[in-house]
Amino acid sequence: MKQISTLTALLMAAGLAGCGGDTATSTDLTAVNPTEPVSDWQLVWSDEFDGTSIDDDKWTHEINCAGGGNNEKQCYTDSPDNSFVSDGTLKIVALPAEEGAPLPYTSARLNTKYQGDWKYGRFEMRAKLPSGQGSWPAFWMLPTDNVYGEWPKSGEIDIVEAVNLKVAGEDGVAEANVHGTLHYGRAWPNNASSGKAYQLPEGMNPADDFHTYAIEWNEGEIRWYVDGYLYQTQMASKVRFNSRGEAVGLSHRGWFSENFDIVTGELETKWNSAPFDQRFHLLLNLAVGGNWPENVNNLGIDAEAFADGQTYEIDYVRVYQCGQDLDSGKGCETVRAGYKDEETLVIGEAPIPSPPSTGVAQNLIIFADTPNPNWPAWDCCGGSTPALVEVADRGNVYEFVVNAQPTVNGFITRSAFITDEEGVPSPFDASPLIEQGSISFDMQVVSAPSNPASTWIFKVESNNNSSFAELPITTSSEGISPVTGEWQTYTFPLQMLADAGLDLSAIDAIMIFPAWDTGNGAVYRVDNVKIAQPDAASPELTIFTDEQNPAWPMWDCCGGTTPVEVMDDAEHGLTAEFAIGATPTVMGFNTRLLEAAAEPFDASALLSEGVVQFEVKVVNAPTNPDSSWLFKIEADGGESFVELPLSAGNGGVEPVTGEWATYTFSIQSLSDAGLDISAIDVLLVFPAWDTGNGAVYRVDNVRIFNPNASANGPITLFRDAVHPDWSLWDCCAGSTPQVVDAGAPYGNVAQFSVLGSPETVQGILADETVSYDATPLLASGSVSFDMRVVDAPANPDSSWIFKIESTGAASAVELPLAAGNNDQAPVTGEWQRYSFSLQSLFDAGLDISDINVIMVFPAWGTGSGAVYQIDNVEISNN
């Protein structure tokens, strides 16, 4: 059955009907002569309606009051009042029903099933369409055999539809759009559709006169025409593969199908010609009302428009097939220049296959003080602009507002929303982090929504919303509701999000918002948005730094020279030098040269943040003043490559002779340009072909890496001995902490003594200019240690303190020692483990990027006589 869900209908209404600029297309038809015969097509079936009755050998009447699956208000009949042939045309007439009828109108729906069924061809109708609020004529196609399942899994092709023609809106403009649409994909209500509206040249309306409507359908492609003008093209999706044959995305997003494999029983997505690769039949009908027409233009049904009937008048229906190749339907295309340009080619709704996970864990900071150009802050629908504001003790945070217009806010990495010139869409593969990783953020509600019943929502989307997880914010690990005025941390384990339906391999939107249409008046701030787990690794390739990588030798492709290593300035040391003579050539580094070639470099794990970076100094410029410098990178034996101006890696600045310059190309941009980043094997820098004679240039620090990857992993400050960059420390009393043997299983431990005068604090201090950046461990890391009190302080009221500071005591957190051990105070003579989460220390104000000293001591002025031992001091993820 032809059906559209209520939501789909409303969305179509908003996006298609009654509108102009965005979806309708006005075209000068003088570019095409519609009177010329269709070339190369062979007529295989037609009805010219020249007789006195409807041909039962071609058409079957459908008789029902089912409402078309769209809540339509007509019963379909075979009454001659509703459909008949006269004066060379077929009339389908919608009329008011008799009193007491099941539905208020009658009409007709005819089909050619089992009498006219075709795979591929040109399907054409000349008709004058009816008008009036509530009218919905259609010329369309359904599958005859439902090979892929019930509607819409086996597809639907709408050749032409229109609703409410000639109905004038508030702007006084009469509705004049016709629509061509495909329906496909998953079972209702998760079905997909894609299409386009078309508007006849100014002053013309499809209800005023006859026009010709057609599609041409061949394997993998369908084109829509009005009066011979091709206004829309839709295509099967085209999958992009890497060198391992793994799907990594779509080079074109078109239609798709989803079915259970009959052998494995697994649900599979197909990005091929299905479901539009089976035989379909034709339908003609005139509906009255329904989800679509009743929700657009002037709404509802205008009874006066149907009082005397509305007529859908068809001059002919013709079917052509291409004799050149019946199997594919190709060879007879009636096309024009640009018929696959952005104005004509429709982007479909196929789910985008996620790039295969590399299995390499990496962390992502979406926002922490500094905006990430790849992940802009975003107001979906409310028209506000998220603001970067400075907050005491936090630095910059993002502030979001919700006004009367319903909206969601958050961060997104899709091209349509990236405005920074440096930004690139960077969907994030979090699947390797699933066991320990999480999405976390800090939020402060400045002003609560005016609606007291509003609730706060956390939502994550993946792969252009191919999958998502939407949860109440209270389902975070902390299990808390926002408290106005307070900064609070929310953590959502990746496993929980995956269980809720999120595909972790291509996360591209994170949203935090009051529930839809309840948030008016809300003002809130967000900070420290990250996807992270402990100890994330990041692959890196060094091709040349001070010496060449033997697996990536320097290379002159064609000029016969031998690149050499030469000393440059003190900063660069040994560099790679290339010289070009009269013979045209390209130069660089090539891992395919060796008989036992190195493995190509797989940069898949670097897709979101990685770069190809190197430095170049031109010693002698080419003698040709018109020469330009190029960068080229190849993969998989040359199966894919990208060639760009060298200046594109340095803000458009051309090389300056005698000066070093750094060039940076994002992995994401190279992948988007077509490079298979899973098998990089050649990197070239050179003057344009046959223009480089006389050029001498040097290259250094050639790397493929993630510049945001931290070099800091976990650190052990004391285990048997103190870390070489840190020391045992007595702040003020002049004692010297000792390393003593505590016996098995601890061995050597640090021992501190409080002499009594002067007062003091003690611990482990970083050497001058040394500090520790614990930022990569924030999500689940901690500061932890073992401690044993050998002799308690003489003062029985003494309490034990833990304190941690950043360099110069610029920030500090002081807590009861017992807070690190479930509020259990030290017991003299017993080893006990203490752990303080980095998140809690950060929330308390510690600058965790600059940890400089860790202290454990009896409260000031109460510690005289205390002796205590500490071991296994670490900042890690345990």
List active site positions. Answer: 156, 161
Cα(838)–Cα(651) distance, rounded to whole angstroms?
38
In sequence order, what are the residues at sequence separation of 6 or more whose Cβ sits closer than 8 angstroms to the Cβ of residue 638?
Answer: 682
Give the type of residue at 444. Q
Cα(585)–Cα(152) distance, rounded to whole angstroms?
56
Angle at 349 between CA 340 and CA 376, to 5 degrees: 95
In sequence order, what are the residues at sequence separation of 6 or more whose Cβ sits closer than 8 angstroms to the Cβ of residue 265?
Answer: none
DSSP class of residue 840? H
For residue 178 the two structure tokens come to: 């016709």
Cα(793)–Cα(762) distance, rounded to whole angstroms?
14
Beta bridge partners of 130: none
Asked if residues 196 and 24 have their Cβ atoms less than 8 Å apart, the reply is no
In order of 556, 651, 665, 690, 852, the CA distances from 686 in angstroms are 10, 18, 16, 10, 47
Show the 3-state SS of 44-92.
EEEECCCCCCCCCCCCEECCECCHHHCCCCEEECCCCCCEEEECCEEEE
Side-chain-facing half-sphere of 122: CA atoms under 13 Å? 27
In sequence order, what are the residues at sequence separation of 6 or more whose Cβ sits closer than 8 angstroms to the Cβ of residue 221?
Answer: 233, 234, 235, 236
Residue 797 CB-density burial (10 A; 0-12 exposed, 13-18 middle, 19+ buried): exposed
Judged by DSSP in three states, 409 sits in strand
| N-terminal to C-terminal alpha carbon distance within the chain | 58
DSSP strand pairing (74-76 vs 105-107): parallel
For residue 774 the two structure tokens come to: 């614990």
Show the 3-state SS of 672-735.
HCCCCCCCEEEEEEEECCCCCCCCEEEEEEEEEECCCCCCCCCEEEEECEECCCEEEEECCCCC
Burial 221-244 (b: 16+ CB within 10 A, else e): bbbbbbbbbbbbbbbbbebbebbe
Cα(260)–Cα(302) distance, rounded to whole angstroms?
45
For residue 850 the two structure tokens come to: 């600059």
Asked if residues 218 and 166 have their Cβ atoms less than 8 Å apart, the reply is no
Peptide bond preceding 600 in cis form (omega within 30 of 0):
no
Judged by DSSP in three states, 416 sits in helix
Cα(216)–Cα(213) distance, rounded to whole angstroms?
11
Residue 256 CB-density burial (10 A; 0-12 exposed, 13-18 middle, 19+ buried): buried
**Residue 620, Ramachandran bin (φ over 0: left; ψ between -120 and 50: alpha; else beta):** beta
In sequence order, what are the residues at sequence separation of 6 or more whose Cβ sits closer than 8 angstroms to the Cβ of residue 519?
Answer: 402, 406, 407, 449, 451, 454, 513
Judged by DSSP in three states, 15 sits in helix
Q: For the range 446-450, what are the long-range contacts, defined as Cβ-Cβ under 8 Å and sequence gap of 24 or more? A: 446/399, 446/484, 446/485, 446/523, 446/524, 446/525, 447/484, 447/521, 447/522, 447/523, 447/524, 448/482, 448/484, 448/521, 448/522, 449/402, 449/514, 449/518, 449/519, 449/520, 449/521, 449/522, 450/520, 450/521
